[in-house]
Structure 1
Amino acid sequence: MARIAFLQDFWFELPGPMVLGGVLTAADHHVTAVITPGGRHMLAVVRKFKPDIAAFSVTTGAHRWAANAAALIKQEFPHIVTIAGGAHPTFYPDFARAPGLDCVCRGEGEGAILELARAVDSGEDWTAILNLAYVNHDGQLKINPLRPPVPDLDALPHPARCMYYRRYPFLRDNPTRMIITGRGCPYNCSFCFNHALGALYAPCGGYPVRRLSPQRCIDMINWACRDYRIKYARFDDDVFILDKKWLFEFLELYARRVAAPFSCLVRANLMTADIADALANAGCAWAHFGVETGNDHLRNQVLDKKISDEQIVNAAALLRARNIRIGTFNMLNLPGETLENGWETVRLNIRIRAQEPWCSLAQPYPGTRMEQRAREMGLLPEGFSADSIPVSYFRNSPISNPDRQALENLHKVFALAVKAPWLHAALARLVKRKPGPLLDAIFKITYGIRYARVYRNSLWRVWKTGRLNARQY
């Protein structure tokens, strides 16, 4: 049987590798997660585990680290097959040209990684495996067709959480467990790749929304509970409340058989009184939804969100009336955004009394409609590409609005501005200054406090996580 190591530099149990690890473990392959900054530490771990395959789950921005790590592994251990999957290689398959990578996987990877493991274990050729892309001996990029998406998620084994928790007690002892109950999203916001994913899978009939059955979800959660306690559940589906029939059935089972407090992601235009009641009765502590921006034109004409201020205010009122705390997702430095538009976003969060106002800086990923609009407006630098995206959306934004620096500064104090309106005069002066350590300190402190509150982590644990993931912030 093959040995597969999933490598990353971020201290977090990634859902993709856990799902693939479950598929591989069920087929008797050996898997482990390796969290490493790279360099000698990574090589020492790889030398000890002796993998046949080194795999990377890669997002845009993190792809540079993965390429460097793969090159180092390939230089030291040329027999190891290196593969990258995830969002970045799915939409930019030319990432297969990165030195050190043997291939990349596009789209859902369960079938591809299983066939690759079998081929490597038996010494067979793997170049015809569906979903893979690679560079042949002539230097040509070969992109194999996609297989259809997994039609029945219930048929998949449970995610292999043990690949993280056996190796990293710090992650095992986290009281919060992230849970994904489905795949796909029916919406087409301009900042997201969902529309591109549908086009990519068009030859296979599209990329449909699929959910685990309510019973299978409960079985998955309780299966994890056998070995690893769950004090708090974090449902990270894009829109947890999308299917009302599924939701009500699942929440009724969850309240009886799990009964742990939880958070989830909702959408303001879908929130109704009966949904809010069902969430509250099942133990929902936090509900997060996208405000994105307080400016209606930016939200609906630039981001294609198709959600009004009224719907946002109504959703917040429904949740607040049931003592469900409100978290919001916001972005600054959108194409054409001004500093005043940024303050509009602050004011809308104050109006709905958001208790956890999360904020990032807009990233126009190449191939999205946001990128197309920013390019048409002349707001992107010459030669802009995926390599122009920073490692973290908390650092900076490549969109060159006239107020970019002030908007990036406002991002650092966004949570404080929402929670402490009496500081607006002082913060308005601060965001017009050059960036400095004070702004960074405000951001890290407020982010840490908010994270601790929402996900039931101690401040010590948040501080340690921040230290381990310092390069991301």
Structure 2
Amino acid sequence: MLKFLFVQHENENIGVEYISAALKSVGHSVELAFFPLGSNLQAENQAIIKKIEKYKPDFACFSPFSFQFPWSLAKAKLIKENYPELFILFGGVHVNSVPDVVMEEKAIDGILLGEADKTIIEFAQNHEAGDITKTRSLWYRKDGGIVKNPTAPLETDLDALPYPDKDLFYNSPLDPIKRNMAYTAVGSRGCPFACTYCSNNVYQKLYLGQKRFRHRSPENVIGELEMNLAKYHYPRVEFADDVLAIDIERLRKLMDLYKEKVNVPFACFFHPRLVNEETVKILKEGGCTWFKLGVQSANENYRKTFLNRHETNEQILKVSELCRKYSLQFSFDHIFNLPAETKEHLIEAVNLYNECRPTIINFWGLMYLPGTDIIQTAIKHGSISEADVPAINTGQHDLSKLNLVPWYDNKNAQINTSAFMLLFVLISLLPKGIIDWLMKIKFYDVKFQIPNIVLVPLKVLSKIKAGQGYLYYSEILGYFIYSYQKINRAITRIWKIAPTQN
């Protein structure tokens, strides 16, 4: 039996849960060192060292997204400095995006490319046999160079994989805060689309010529949900699939089983091109309470040319009408600071969204993900330069950070991004006629920034109005738990060092 220690930051990672389940299915041991947001750097380092001393793992493993890579690399260096013989293995989205960049870091002994459910078992078996070098998808160091083994093909039978190991994170510090929010499930892998800004753009290149979109059977998905409902009593489900279904018959069967055996509210993602009235009706009857649609830009030509998205505004309007017809709450996703974005594009967005009247408009700034096509588009149009790419490829650039929306785009200062952000929030709160009036008086041309002290409370109010206040309750609960623990530790230290009074 081999021991694998995963070191993870911020959030539950479904990929790690699947890898853990795969390893445990063949008798290996897996433990987790998990650090939610708000953790103290020194305390993190001490906890990692303490965990290694106690667990004595054979491998230390990381699976970061790009914005998490600097944190993961710092922890890998800490481990390598203290345990130079411990093999450090990386995988995940960032690794698949820029494997050569990752392997420039000497603290990292190897990486596994692609989906690793089978190759991690192969890696463990080969290690026990004394030779990891034959492991498919493995890149490793040898004689001062890097050996790059061929990437294993995608797994086609997802039902053959064990259910994700939810215990790994649910029995960690994630438990009191996130676990009571929703159970995150994935009923498929891959995406039938290849938007230029998305990590699926990278996987399209990695698995060129293979069928990337694969799905589990409805029985397999429901089996997982039913088993863990009995264990965790979760109040809702978040389907994290890029697209929940493209096959209407599979969707119907999935929803019939879900209603019968799970029957808690759920949310899911869909693409506007894949939605019709039957889809919305089936979802509503199955228990869907939140329907998520990516739009990103309201200009059809821009979406097609820059983002490789080919839906029409007519399709987006139709989906909105269907959601209202079936009383299904729905949200749009919008990206600010896109390359060559103009004020006119944002004006179109306000007008389109005000016509559609989604329950919520979620927005954030464009995160430049390494290896995606939009990076070269942004360089061509002057949004970034070639000099920015190294920082993007290591997750250190400002525009690699999660949800960063600058108030003003320095390269296009005539756009007051904050004014458009406020208009997006107000669409969820105010009647259509008021938004039309604000557009008529060109509110978006105000010369001052709309401060966070205005935007954040209104955003929270819009979430509460939409019945999503629980998202903020959990964050507040987490903050108070963390603050209480910190204060309690401080009081304990003071009590221990206080002089004894006679």
TM-score (normalizing by structure 2): 0.84
Determine if contact 1:131/1:145 at 8 Å carries over to the other structure. yes
CA distance in 2, matches of 1:40, 1:411: 44
- Give the 5 Å matches for 1:236-385: 236-385=240-389
Residue in 1 aligned with 2:404? 395
Q: CA deviation at 1:117?
A: 3.0
Distance across 1 between alignment mates of 2:419 and 2:50: 42
Distance 2:148 2:417 in 1: 38
Deviation at 1:215, TM superposition (A): 0.7
- 3-state SS of paired residue (1:384): helix
Deviations 1:348-389 (A, max 9, x none): 222211112111211333432212221222321242222336
**SS of structure 1 residue aligned to 2:172:** coil
Alpha-carbon shift at residue 123 of structure 1 (Å): 7.0
Kindly tell me the number of residue pairs found equivalent between the two proteins.
462
- Separation (CA, whole Å) in 1 of partners of 2:27 and 2:238: 29
Do the aligned partners of 1:335 and 1:374 also contact (CA within 8 Å) in 2? Answer: yes
- Equivalent in the alignment of 1:219: 223
Provide the C-alpha distance between the structure 2 equivalents of 1:309 and 1:221, rounded to a whole number of angstroms. Answer: 35
Equivalent position SS for 1:368: coil
What's the secondary structure of 1:54's corresponding residue? strand
* 2:27 maps to 1:28: yes
Letter matched to residue 103 of structure 1: G
CA contact (8 A) 1:452 1:459 kept: no
CA distance, structure 1, for counterparts of residue 103 and residue 81 of structure 2: 16
Asked if the contact 1:361–1:396 (Cα under 8 Å) also holds between the matched residues in 2, the reply is yes
CA 1:40–1:333 in structure 2 vs 1: closer, same or farther (change >3 Å)? same
Contact 2:98–2:371 (Cα < 8 Å) also in 1: no
Q: Which amino acid aligns with 2:314?
A: E
| Secondary structure of 1:9's aligned partner | strand
In 1: Cα distance, 2:410 partner to 2:172 partner: 45
For the 8 Å contact 2:368–2:400, the answer to whether it is kept is: no
1:403 positional shift: 2.4
Alpha-carbon distance between aligned partners in 2 of 1:407 and 1:136, rounded to the nearest angstrom: 53
Q: Secondary structure at the match of 2:308?
A: coil
Give the C-alpha shift of residue 320 in structure 1. 1.3
Aligned partner of residue 470 in structure 2, secondary structure: coil
Is 2:122 the partner of 1:115? yes
**Contact 1:97–1:135 (8 Å) recurs in 2:** no
What is the deviation of 1:306?
Answer: 0.4
Which amino acid letter does the alignment assign opposite residue 351 of structure 1? E
Q: Greater shift after overlay, 67-76 or 377-386? A: 377-386
Answer yes or no: is the 8 Å Cα contact 1:335–1:379 preserved in 2.
yes
Q: Among 409, 425, 450, which residue is 1:416 paired with? A: 425
Match of 1:151 in 2: 156
Q: Find the counterpart in structure 2 of residue 235 from structure 1.
A: 239
Alignment of 1:80-119 (within 5 A): 80-94=86-100, 95-119=102-126
Moved more, 152-161 or 27-36: 27-36
What is the deviation of 1:410? Answer: 4.9
Deviations 1:288-327 (A, max 9, x none): 0011112222222211210111100100110111111011
Q: CA RMSD in A?
A: 3.0
Q: Hey, what's the Cα distance between the residues in 1 that align with 2:354 and 2:252?
A: 31
User: Contact (CA 8 Å) 2:178, 2:474: kept in 1 or not?
Assistant: no
Say whether residues 1:45 and 2:51 are aligned partners: yes
Change (3 A) 1:57 1:414: farther
**Range 141-150 or range 40-49, more displaced:** 40-49
Instruction: Give the whole-Å Cα distance in 1 for the aligned partners of 2:27 and 2:420.
Output: 47
Shift of 1:415: 4.5
In 2, the alpha carbon distance for the partners of 1:141 and 1:411 equals 48
Structure 1 counterpart SS, 2:33: strand
Q: Secondary structure at the match of 2:384?
A: coil
Question: Alpha carbons of 1:334 and 1:56: their partners in 2 closer, same or farther (altered >3 Å)?
Answer: same
Q: Distance in 1 between matches of 2:120 and 2:423?
A: 41
* Equivalent position amino acid for 1:141 in 2: I
Greater Rg over alpha carbons, structure: 2
Question: Displacement of 1:112 after TM fit?
Answer: 2.2
CA displacement 1:249-275 (0-9 Å, x = unmatched): 111111111111111101112211111
Q: Give the secondary-structure state (helix, strand or coil) at the position aligned to 1:62.
A: helix
Q: CA deviation at 1:116?
A: 2.6
SS of 2:219 mapped into structure 1: helix
> How has the CA–CA distance of structure 1 residues 103 and 351 changed in structure 2, closer, same or farther, with 3 Å as cutoff?
same
What secondary structure is seen at the aligned counterpart in 1 of 2:332?
strand
**Aligned CA distance change for structure 1 residues 110 and 75 (closer, same or farther; 3 Å):** same
1:7 equivalenced with 2:14 (yes/no): no
By how many angstroms is 1:402 displaced? 2.9
**Aligned residues of 2:112 and 2:137 also touching (Cα < 8 A):** yes
Deviations 1:99-143 (A, max 9, x none): 3111111110112222233344x37232331111233331x2322
Q: Secondary structure at the match of 1:141?
A: strand
1:167 to 165, 172, 176: 172
Matches within 5 A, 1:132-147: 132-138=138-144, 140-147=145-152
1:190 to 171, 186, 196: 196
Mapped to 1, the partners of 2:479 and 2:315 lie a distance apart of: 35
Contact 2:62 2:72 in 1 (8 A): yes
* Counterpart Cα distance in 2 of 1:419 and 1:337: 23
1:460 counterpart residue number? 473
2:69 counterpart of 1:63: yes
Question: Could you tell me whether the CA contact under 8 Å between 1:299 and 1:306 is conserved in 2?
Answer: yes
Instruction: Give yes or no for contact 2:266–2:290 (8 Å, CA) kept in 1.
Output: yes
For the Cα contact (< 8 Å) 1:182–1:211, is it kept in 2? yes
Per-residue deviation at 1:172? Answer: 6.7
Cα deviation, 1:13-57, whole Å, max 9, x if unaligned, reads 211011111111111212123222543333333333332211111
* Deviation for aligned residue 1:150: 0.9
Distance 1:378 1:296, change over 3 A: same
Q: State the SS of the aligned residue for 1:383.
A: helix
Q: Does the residue aligned with 1:79 lie in a helix, a strand or coil?
A: coil
SS in 2 for 1:110: coil
- Cα distance, 1:93 vs structure 2: 0.7
Q: Is the 8 A contact 2:141 2:147 kept in 1?
A: yes
1:76 corresponds in structure 2 to 82
Asked if 2 retains the 8 angstrom alpha-carbon contact of 1:102 and 1:134, the reply is yes
Residues 1:127 and 1:384: Cα distance change in structure 2 (over 3 Å)? farther
CA distance in 1, matches of 2:113, 2:457: 35
- The alignment status of 1:128 with 2:134, answered yes or no, reads yes
Q: Can you give the 5+ residue segments of structure 1 that lack an aligned partner in the other structure? A: none
Q: Which stretch of the first structure deviates more once superposed, 105-114 or 455-464?
A: 455-464
Instruction: Using the TM superposition, give the Cα deviation of residue 59 of structure 1 relative to its aligned residue in structure 2, in angstroms.
Output: 1.4
1:16 to 2:15 alignment:
yes
Q: Distance in 2 between matches of 1:444 and 1:33?
A: 36
Name the SS for the 2:388 alignment partner: coil
CA distance change for structure 1 residues 223 and 403 in 2, over 3 Å: closer, same or farther?
same
| Pair 24,366 (structure 1): closer, same or farther in 2 beyond 3 Å | closer
